[in-house]
Structure 1
Amino acid sequence: IPYLIQQNQSHSPIPLADICVSSPTGSGKTLTYVIPLLQCIRIIILLPVQDLAEQVYHVVNQIGHKLQLKTALLAGQQSFEDEQKILVKQQLNGSWTSSIDIIVCTPGRLVEHVSRTSGFSLIHLRYLVIDEADRIIDEFKQDWLNILDNAVGLPSPLKNNFQAYMLSQSSSNRKIYQKLLFSATLTHIPEILQQLNLFHLVLFSSSSTSIIMPSTLRENFIICSITYKPLIIAYLIQNQLHSERIMIFVHSKKDVDRLSSLRKLLLPDNIKVSHISRKLPSKKIQTRLNMFELGQIQILVCSDVLARGIDIPNIDCVILYDLPKNIRTYTHRIGRTARAGKFGRSITMVEKERLIIFRTTIKTYRRNKLKPLNIRRENFSFMLNDYQKASEIFS
C-alpha cells in the first residue's frame, strides 16, 4: 500500500473531504481503497474501460465475499438484462430491493442503469471511487457525474455553486457522497480536478512535480533507425533478455499484427509470441493473458489496451516499440513491470529524429535518468537476410 496513504489512512476515508491519490504504478492503489471501504457499504467504483472494471471487480469480490458483502459488475460483460436481475429485485407488493453493497462499473453503463433500470436507487450512496481518474477526466464528458448527482438527490445544477452548497449544509443534512480519485499520473492542477466537483480536496502524492516510478525498475532506451527496430528487438530477446516474459507496446492494431507476425518469423519456434489489441474479443484477451501469466506465451505484443491498470504478475521486461505521445502513456506502459516491489526493466526504442523530444520530456517530468543501450548494426547483421524475406511477405 502506498506509504502516504498508509501513514494517513488506517481505518476509513478522511471525513468531509474528497481525496486524490497519485502514487507509482504497481504500488497497490487498488488495495488502498478496497480494504478501508469494505468496512462500509453503498460504494461505487468507477473505471474507464471494461477490462479494468473486471479486474477490480475480482479483487473486490474476493475480499468482500469473506465479509459477506455482495458486489455487482456493471461493465457490459453480461447483457444489460442480466445485470438488471443482479442489481434489483421486485417484491410481491411491487416494491424494489437490492442486496448489492458495492458496484464496480464504467461511466456509460452506470448512466444506462440509472436511466433504464426500475428500482435502481443511489440515494444512499456513500463513496464514489474514480480509478484511473486522469483518464476519466480526459476521455469522458462529465455528464455522467451530473446524472449521478441527480440520482443521489443533489440539487441541479451544482456545477457553478458546488462549494457554496456544501458549506451551506450541516453535516447531518448534507446529501453528498465522498469522492476518492486514484491514478499514477493524476494532475495536480485544481481547475482540471474541479471538473469532478471536489470538496475540500486532500491530495496525497509522492511528488509535487515529478512522476515517480518504482525504485525496482531499471529504465533503458535505444537510439535506432525505424528500419531496424524489429531486428533490434529480435536481437535483444535472443541475446540479452533470453527467456524473460516480455510485453511489447505499439501504437495501433496494424502495428500489433505486423510486429507479432515478424517476430514469429525472426525468432526460434520455442519462443511463443501472441498479440492483443482493442478489437480482440474480451474472452480471447483473457485467454491470452492467462497463457502469458502461466508462461505458455513468452512475448505479448499489444496496444495501449493493456497499458493502464492491468496487473499481470512477474512481467520481466516492457519494450516500447513506438515512442509514447506523452509522459503519462510512457508511465503507464512501463508500469506493467516492477510491480509490488519486484524487479523489472523497460526499454524504449527512440528514433534519432525524436531523441531531443524524448530527453526533454524525461528531464522535465522525471527525477531519475534513463541509461542508453548501445546496439550496433553488426550485432544483428546475421539476421538481415531473414528480416528482408519476412519484410517482403508483409509489405
Structure 2
Amino acid sequence: MARDEAPTTERETDSVVPWMRAPIDVCHVDSCDLDTLPFLHPRLKKALENMGITSLFPVQVAVWHETIGPGGFERDICVNSPTGSGKTLAYALPIVQMLESRAVRCIRALVVVPTRDLAEQVKKVFNTIAPAVGLSVGLAMGQSSISDEISRLIKTPKLDAGICYDPEDISQNLESAVDILVATPGRLMDHINNTKGFTLEHLRFLVVDETDRLLREAYQSWLPTVLQLTQTSDNGLFPSSIPFVPSAFGSLQTVRRQSVERGFKGKPYPRLVKMALSATLTQDPSKLIQLDLHHPLFMTTGEDRYQLPEKLECLRLICESGMKPVYLVALLKSFGGGEKCIVFTSSVETTRRLCKLLNFFDDLNIKVKEYSGGLDQKIRREELKAFIKGDSQVLVASDALTRGIDVKGVTNVINYDMPQFPKTFIHRAGRTARAGQAGRCFTLLSDHEVRRFSNKILKKVGVDSCQTHSIPPTTLDPIRTTYADALEKLKKLVELEGAKKERRGSKRKSRTGNSQSKVNKTTSET
C-alpha cells in the first residue's frame, strides 16, 4: 500500500549551510525558445516539439546552463522551485542529452521518488525524450509483480537449444536492459539485495526528487546503500566525465576536467553527479549532509523559502460547526461545468467517507471519485485517468496526491481539512496553477481554526492576504435538507460495512479455531 504524506517531523531551524546563502535566483532567468537553447540535440528538440513544447521554463533553462552549458555538471545541484514549474523536465532533459546512446547498456541514471504514482509520471516524461537518442527507461516500484519487473530490467543472454549451461555462467552474463531507472526506494532496495544482474556500479547520475520527504524517512537505508555502492565501484567504462562538450566550450573542458580531477584525487572518476529537487527543499544541515554533495549549487525562486505558483489565488471559507459538507457542496455547485477540482482531506478514512457522502447528494450532478493510499494501485490509476479525461469532475484525495503529481487543467483545489503543516499546504495548493496557468485554492475552516491557519500556515508560506469567500444563506438552506438525507444514507452504509467486516472476522476466527482444534486433537492422539 502506498503511504500517504506523513506528518513532517522536520524541525524548523535557523541554521543554513553556507552554500544556501547565495543561491541562483531562477526568477532572473528568462524562458528560452528551443531554437535558441544552446547545444540541444536535434533529435531531442524534435521529441520536445512532438510534445507541443516550443520553449523551456526558467528553472529548466537555469538547470540546462549549469549542466550542458558552462556549468558542465561540475557541481551537484539543488533546486527549490514551486510545484508546476517544470522540475522533472529540468533534470530529465540534460541527463538524457549527456547519456546519449552507447553500445553497452547499463544503469547510468537513477531517479528516486517517494511514491508509485510519481514514479509512473516521471517515467512518462523520460519516455517522451529518451528513445529519441537510443536510451531505454525502466520502472521499479512496489505493488507490481517483481518477476515481471525483473524481466523488463534485466536482459538474459540468448541460449542455444540443446546445450546444458552452468547457472553460474548464466548469472554472470546477465545485462541491464535499461539506461535510466525510475524507482521508489523500497523496490529499489529489493532489486539491490535480491535481483541477479542488477547493479549500480556504472551509475553516473542520481536524482532525489521530493528530497525533503525522501530524506525524512529511512526507507530501508536506501541512500547510504546507493552511495556506498557507487563510491566503491570502478567506473572505468566511462573514460571522461563529459562525453558531450560543445566545441564552443573546448577551452573550458581542459580546465573543468583538471579541477574535477583535483577535487576527486584518490576517488573513482567520473564522480556520481547528484541532483536534489523539491517545492519545499529542506534547509536542515543534518538532513542535507546525507546526500554527500559536491560543491553544491543552490537554485531557488525568490528569497522566501516556500514558494506558491505565481497565478494562484488563495481563499478561505469559514463554515458553521458541523456543516462543512454543506459548504463544500455549495462551493462545488458554484464552479462552472467541467471545472476539475481536487478536495484534500486529512486521512484515508475521511477521503473514503467524504467521497461516498458527496455521491449521496442526489442533486449535486457532479461525478465524484476517490483517490487515496487505501485503494489498490490499479484502481487509483484508473480513477486518475478518468479524472484527467474529464469523466469525473471532482477527486476527493488524501495527501497521497500531493507530491509531484501533474494533472493538467485542475482549476480548483479545496482543503476540506486544514493542512497541519506549511509544506502540506504548499504541495496541496500546487496541484493547480501549474505551468503558468491560473488556479484557486480554497481552505474550509471552522471558527476556532481561523487564527491558527493565518499564523501557522499562511505566514509561513509567505501569503500576505487570503480573502474570505462567502456563500449566501439562500444557497446553503436547500442543501441542509439534502445533507440530512445524504448523512443518513452514509450512516446506514457504514453500519452495513461494519456488520460485513464483523462477519468476516468471525468466520476467520471460526476457521482458525477449527484448525487449532484439529491440531490439538492430533497432538493428543500422538
Indicate whether the TM-score tops 0.5: yes
Gaps of 5+ in 1: 156-165
Please provide the CA RMSD for this pair: 2.3
After superposition, where does 1:365-376 map in structure 2 within 5 Å?
Answer: 365-376=461-472
CA shift in 2, pair 1:17/1:301, >3 Å: same
2:479 is the alignment partner of 1:393: no
Partner of 2:341: 246
Residue equivalent to 2:76: 18
Which moves more between the two structures, 192-201 or 146-155?
Answer: 146-155
Q: Do the aligned partners of residues 136 and 332 (structure 1) sit closer, same or farther apart at CA in structure 2, a change above 3 Å counting?
A: same
1:336 aligned partner, one-letter code: R
Deviations 1:298-340 (A, max 9, x none): 1111111111111111011111100011011111111111111
Match of residue 163 from structure 1: none
2:147 to 76, 81, 96: 81
Cα distance change on mapping 1:199 and 1:333 into 2, 3 Å:
same
Of residues 194, 201, 219 in structure 1, which corresponds to 2:314? 219
Distance in 2 separating the partners of 1:215 and 1:77: 36
Q: Quick one: distance in 2 between partners of 1:145 and 1:8?
A: 23
User: For residues 141 and 82 of structure 1, do their structure 2 counterparts lie closer, same or farther at Cα, with a shift above 3 Å needed?
Assistant: closer
How far apart, in 1, do the equivalents of 2:372 and 2:181 lie? Answer: 27
Secondary structure class of the residue paired with 1:198? coil
Secondary structure (helix, strand or coil) at the match of 1:309 reads: coil
Which residue, out of 74, 77, 88, partners 1:30?
88
- Tell me, in whole angstroms, the C-alpha distance in 1 between the residues paired with 2:362 and 2:310: 32
Q: Distance in 2 between matches of 1:231 and 1:302?
A: 18
Specify which of 9, 12, 25 is matched with residue 64 of structure 2.
Answer: 9
**Is the 1:210–1:367 contact (alpha carbons within 8 Å) kept by the matching residues of 2?**
no
Describe the SS at the equivalent of 2:363.
coil
**1:169 deviation in Å?**
3.2
Q: Distance in 1 between matches of 2:326 and 2:469?
A: 15
Could you tell me which residue of structure 2 aligns to residue 63 of structure 1? 129
> Partners in 1 of 2:217 and 2:446 — Cα distance?
29
Residue 140 of structure 1: CA displacement?
Answer: 2.6
- The worse-fitting range, judged by mean Cα deviation, of 130-139 and 185-194 is 185-194
Relative distance call for 1:52 and 1:231 in structure 2 (3 A) is same
The CA distance in 1 between the partners of 2:64 and 2:220, in whole Å, is 28
Aligned-residue offset at 1:218 = 1.4
Q: From 209, 212, 229, give the equivalent of 1:134.
A: 212
Alignment of 1:109-188 (within 5 A): 109-141=187-219, 143-154=221-232, 169-170=264-265, 173-174=268-269, 176-188=271-283
Corresponding residue for residue 115 of structure 2: 49
SS at match of 1:263: helix
C-alpha contact (below 8 Å) 1:114/1:151 kept by paired residues:
no
Residue 309 of structure 1 pairs with residue 404 of structure 2: yes
Moved more, 261-270 or 232-241: 261-270
Secondary structure in 2 aligned to 1:72?
strand
Mean CA deviation greater in 220-229 or 146-155: 146-155
Alignment correspondent of 2:165: none
Aligned residues of 1:206 and 1:212 also touching (Cα < 8 A): yes
Structure 2 counterparts to residues 283-294 of structure 1, below 5 A: 283-294=378-389
How many Å separate the matches in 1 of 2:74 and 2:265?
11
Cα offset, 1:153, TM superposition: 4.0
Give the corresponding residue for 1:359.
Answer: 454
CA distance in 2, matches of 1:286, 1:265: 24
Deviates more, 1:301-310 or 1:369-378: 369-378
Contact 1:234 1:267 in 2 (8 A): no
> Is 1:106 aligned to residue 184 of structure 2?
yes
Distance in 1 separating the partners of 2:266 and 2:362: 64
Q: Which moved more, 1:125-134 or 1:89-98?
A: 89-98
Residues 253 and 7 of structure 1, relative CA distance in 2, 3 Å threshold: closer
Answering whether residue 403 of structure 2 is matched by residue 348 of structure 1, we say no
Which structure's CA Rg is the greater one?
A: 2
CA distance in 2, matches of 1:367, 1:386: 36
| Shift in alpha-carbon separation, 1:73–1:338, aligned structure 2, 3 A | same
Structure 2 residues without counterparts, runs of 5 or longer: 1-55, 100-107, 160-168, 234-260, 492-526
CA drift of 1:242 comes to 4.6
- Compute the displacement of 1:136 (Å): 0.4
SS in structure 2 at match of 1:218: strand
Q: Contact 1:154–1:175 (CA<8 Å) still a contact in 2?
A: no
TM-score w.r.t. the length of structure 2 is 0.69
C-alpha distance after superposition, 1:174-202 (max 9, x if no partner)? 46411101111112233321122222221
State the partner residue of 1:40. Answer: 98
TM-score by length of 1: 0.90
SS at match of 1:316: strand
| Partner SS, residue 207 of structure 1 | coil
Letter paired with 1:57 = K
Please give the per-residue CA displacement for 1:275-319, whole angstroms capped at 9, x wherever unaligned: 111121112111111111111101111111111111111011111
> What is the percent sequence identity of the aligned residues?
35
Aligned partner of 1:36: which letter?
A: P
Shift of 1:22: 0.7
Contact 2:355–2:396, Cα closer than 8 Å, also in 1: yes
Post-superposition offset of 1:370: 1.7
